[in-house]
Amino acid sequence: MAEGIPPEPVPSGVVAHPPLFDLKDREPSDSFRLLATAARRPAAWALNQLYLALPRPDRNWVSDCQTTNFHTRIWEAQLLASLREQGLLVEQRFESPDFRIESGIGGEAWIEAVTANAPVPYNHVNAPFAEIPTDREEIFFGSAALRFAKTIGNKLARRYDQLPHVIGKPFILAVADFHASGSMMWSREGLIGYLQGSGATVAEIEGSLQAVPMPAGTLLGPTQFPAGLFANDRHAELSAVIFSNACSISKLNRVPISAAGAPPDYRYTRLGEFFDRAPGALEGIPFCMDITSNAYRNLWPHRYEPWTAEIEIFHNPYARYPVRFELLPEAQHWFKADGEWQCSSVYETSILWSQTWVTDADKPAPTLQQVLEAKRRTAHSTSS
């Protein structure tokens, strides 16, 4: 790395990292093409740095990222960023699972990354948003929950926990959702409904609106797929599920821009709702913020948007090998205690759902009214 000294040769046995942006004779996906636009140059830079930081990426990592598996690969890259940001040793010793993580106070675990995809592939770029459920049962136990169930079930069937290097260690599945256009803004409840076998609705009790539980034994639909993966010990081999509702090019853009500034001629605005931590609150708090502003940066102790900001971990209360909270100290943890699901978060700020708008710098900034209009379009959503 020193000036005037030629680069050292790659040591024997080290897997080379082919250039991420060398297409060779491949036809890139429209998602990958977006990285070539000036407004998304920070995202392209960030993705390239994360790819180069992968200890031992699959030999087809670059071709996948450039073409049909773009979202799977950016999820792996974003996971790596979050794990390293939390101070973990991250290794890729074997082909599967994807990552081995370790810390001095949290022990170790194995993580397999997976994405929930549409049954019929679609072009993610400029696709109109899919219809958003409004019925509470559909939100928690409908199509999104079923897609998560099938995705997680397919991975569990591979019995990663029985691999010689995984036996006796916590095993985690890390899931990101791309099953429908825009579903990342509302599908989180579907994962909760499937894992916990319970949702929530609002009812009037003694003259005031309150959240009340909505249990279910099966998901909606003719298959009657069981709900409540973490409601009993049927899958004690799965220690936890990691989830993010912000695996996107927008996330890859926001982290470096919030830290180092925006490219000339562009404005980047994040709008959505903060989680209201007031007891009994039923609605989020609308926000609309320039991601380069001090107000936005001050939301986190890092003074920039952290990679771990939207990472949530749902712990299996029946896990054979539980994950220690200290292993992933900056994530938001969901766990069962005293018969109820509870949450622990190191960050005061938690974003329920959001959109990131890129506009010309000389145009007016988005307004809070546009936040409320975006909320109307994403009614009942609670994801980012």
Closest CA to 194 of 156, 162, 166, 160: 156
Percent helix, strand, coil in the chain, to 5, is: 30, 25, 50
372 versus 8: the higher-pLDDT residue is 8
Distance CA(60)–CA(10), nearest Å, equals 19
What tens digit of pLDDT does each residue of 283-315 get? 789 999 999 999 999 999 999 999 999 999 999
Q: Is 33 helix (H, G, I), strand (E, B) or coil?
A: helix
Averaged confidence pLDDT in the chain: 92
pLDDT at 377: 57
How much is the average pLDDT of 24-29?
A: 96
Q: What is the DSSP letter of 161?
A: G
**At 382, is the pLDDT very low, low, confident or very high (cuts 50, 70, 90)?**
very low
* pLDDT tens by residue, 63-74: 999 999 999 999
- Locate tokens 């020193």: which residue? 2
d(CA 241, CA 96): 17
- Average pLDDT on 249-273 reads 95
Burial 204-214 (b: 16+ CB within 10 A, else e): eeeeeeeeeeb
Instruction: List C-alpha distances in Å: 252 to 45, 74, 294.
Output: 9, 9, 19
Question: Which position has the higher pLDDT, 209 or 348?
Answer: 348
